[in-house]
Chain A
Amino acid sequence: MESQTLYRTGLTGEAIASELLALPATKATRSRATPTSETRVVQRVLIGAALAYFALLVLTPLIVVFYQALRKGLEFYMIALSDSDTLSAIRLTLIVAAVAVPLNLVFGVAAAWSISKFDFRGKSVLVSLIDLPFAVSPVIAGLIYVLIFGLQGWLGPWLAAHDIKVIFALPGLLLATIFVTVPFVARGLIPLMEAQGKAEEEAALVLGASGWQTFWRVTLPNIKWGIIYGVILCNARAMGEFGAVSVVSGHIRGATNTMPLQVEILYNEYNYVAAFAVASLLALLALVTLAVKTAVEWRSAQGAPQ
């Protein structure tokens, strides 16, 4: 009698199942595994293990960084950060990020757009090339630039003759940073744009929009969150890169040291608290990045159309 009533009301099979499973509701029934989820115990163990792993490998070092940085008090912390070499390192990091991120943004959008909307020869090569920086060790990346632009490298004599400094100067730092951060925007956008397909773009074209109008009015708004996400990751990596930059830097104090390099220098001068102070800035950046990323994900999951 009961099941007939349920059937006539037009409930879906899922609703029926959950109705049946809910009667009678006892403690034992509630913690039984359903077809698509584990028992309470298993859930708790898995979540606990994940949290413990995270706490150990990520949270603890983060706490240590801030603890060590503030060990001698807030005043020392601020004075350490206002040392001229350190300020120069902060400035350099900001400049490098300010150049590398927009460049990679433009490239990433262009590459993702071509890959997802068109078919062309060499498409898979382009995709592999974009992933290349992930596969190559950053130190090797730095070395490549030394081999090309260094005094003994391919372009070395020409550059020297024209007094153009690439390696051991800002351009070298930019090249190394750009190389290691190239994939972030593109890789975030490609699956997104492929999932979105070309139909909206085709619709726009048929309605008379030009290529540029289509891109600006249709494509861009659809990938807005993907772009934001990619930029955030790209920026975090650009500011925190060590290996590649270290090779091409020359370590000239007050001139070619970024924040990560400055941390190493301070540490090597027994200036541990100052080293941790600069490291804490980078850690703060990481936290801010995480917060913004979470906010972005939350907003886009809401399906906010604007």
Chain B
Amino acid sequence: MKYLNIALVSLVALFAANAHADVTLLNVSYDPTRELYQEVNAAFARHWQATAREKVSIRASHGGSGRQARSVIDGLEADVVTLALAYDIDEIADRARLLPTDWQKRLPNNSSPYTSTIVFLVRKGNPKGVRDWDDLIKPGVSVITPNPKTSGGARWNYLAAWGYALRKYGNDEGRARNFVTALFHNVPVLDSGARGATTTFVERGQGDVLLAWENEAFLALKEFGSGKFEIVVPSVSILAEPPVAIVDRVVDKRGTRKVAQAYLDYLYSDEGQDIAGRNFYRPRSQKAAAKYAKQFPKLNLFTIEEVFGGWTKAQKTHFADGGVFDHIYQPGK
């Protein structure tokens, strides 16, 4: 009888139109933020109903950051974009002119309401003894990372490794390049997004160590029980600042600027920061940072500006067509 009820309700819901919302927003985001924004969206909807007395429905789309940016450029009508790195949003501004090129200044902290970093996820007991970046280039160690061409997380991974090598070899670009080349020799497969790489490591059991967003690593522990995996914190890593932005052309066309702005502001609010911390993103606000301090391991972090002179330079040198990555990684070699 229970099954029949479920079936009937589903059948009706199948053909009933969605309950009518007063306004809808589309948030085009990167791969690992699914759980974060599920929580944020529900909370924001409640908040907006209470304050503006309007019913807002937030649709989400997730995928590799580069790929999502490409979709927005091709016409995916995002009211807001919450991507993995500033360069991807720069592309949307430059190529499609959907928002101004100085977008990053419009919100606090370089438009990044939370930060993250890159850590290692290994199997319980750490059988290959991976402690730091050096261990990743040892023969017989299989490293899982997504594809820097499509995934934001993958680019952070790559730059973190390069940054480590620069530090180790006294800023010698040549030796850093050798290091990263050796690392990619140990990579058996490239997924298109961070979540795909996590699934490859966790569910399909491939690889010895996963280079992951810190929040991804924590989430994997939570989903699968810490009995199966461990987080290994490297000696140094990169400060990842995934930014958010309003897409001006879209919100003006759809008349959703007010809601979209409020949505992004919400991410900086106490509740928003709390949700971020709860989902293993390092919050910016003092209050939330203090609350979740114990959760996050202490790390030596460098920024992309310090080591690479910013995203535009880094993208051009390493990830553009014909850049360093194209020369380093030739599958099958």
Contacts and interface: CB of A to CB of B under 8 A. Distances in A.
Chain A complexes with chain B: yes
Interface of A: 74-75, 78-79, 81-82, 84, 87-88, 90-91, 146, 149-153, 156, 159-160, 163, 165, 167-168, 250-255, 265, 267-270, 272
Contact of B6 (A78, A159, A252, A254): A78
A252 B10 contact: no
B14 A91 contact: yes
Contacts of A90: 14
30 contacts: A74-B3, A78-B10, A82-B10, A90-B14, A146-B74, A149-B75, A151-B73, A151-B74, A151-B75, A152-B73, A153-B74, A159-B75, A165-B75, A167-B74, A167-B75, A167-B76, A168-B71, A168-B77, A250-B71, A251-B61, A251-B62, A255-B59, A265-B62, A268-B195, A268-B196, A269-B34, A269-B35, A270-B202, A270-B203, A272-B203
B280 to A, nearest CB: 15
Interface of B is mostly: helix
Interface string B176-217: 000000000000000001011001001100000000000000
A150 B60 CA distance: 20
B42 interface: no
Contacts of B75: 149-152, 156, 159-160, 165, 167-168
Nearest to B72: A151
Interface of B: 2-3, 6-7, 9-10, 13-15, 18, 26, 31, 34-35, 59-63, 71, 73-77, 95-96, 193, 195-196, 199, 202-203, 223-224, 253
Given A91-B15, A151-B75, A156-B75, 8 more contacts: A152-B73, A153-B74, A159-B75, A160-B75, A252-B59, A252-B76, A268-B34, A268-B62
A90 to B, nearest CB: 6
A114 B203 CA distance: 52
A270 B195 CA distance: 9
Nearest to B10: A82
- Which of A81, A146, A152, A250 has the most CB atoms of chain B within a 10 A radius of its CB? A250
A250 B69 CA distance: 11
B281 to A, nearest CB: 17
Nearest to B7: A78
B196 A250 contact: no
A133 to B, nearest CB: 22
A251 B74 CA distance: 14
A81 B196 contact: no
Contacts of B13: 82, 84, 87
B321 to A, nearest CB: 17
Nearest to A257: B61
A279 B9 CA distance: 21
A235 to B, nearest CB: 18
B74 A150 contact: yes
A250 B95 contact: no
Contacts of B62: 251, 265, 268
Given A87-B13, A250-B71, A267-B199, A168 B76 contact: yes
A163 B96 CA distance: 16
B89 to A, nearest CB: 16
A267 B195 CA distance: 10
A119 to B, nearest CB: 43
B36 to A, nearest CB: 12
Contacts of B196: 268
Contacts of B14: 87, 90-91
Contacts of B77: 165, 168
A289 B77 CA distance: 37
Contacts of A74: 3
B76 A152 contact: no
A252 B76 CA distance: 9
A168 B67 CA distance: 14
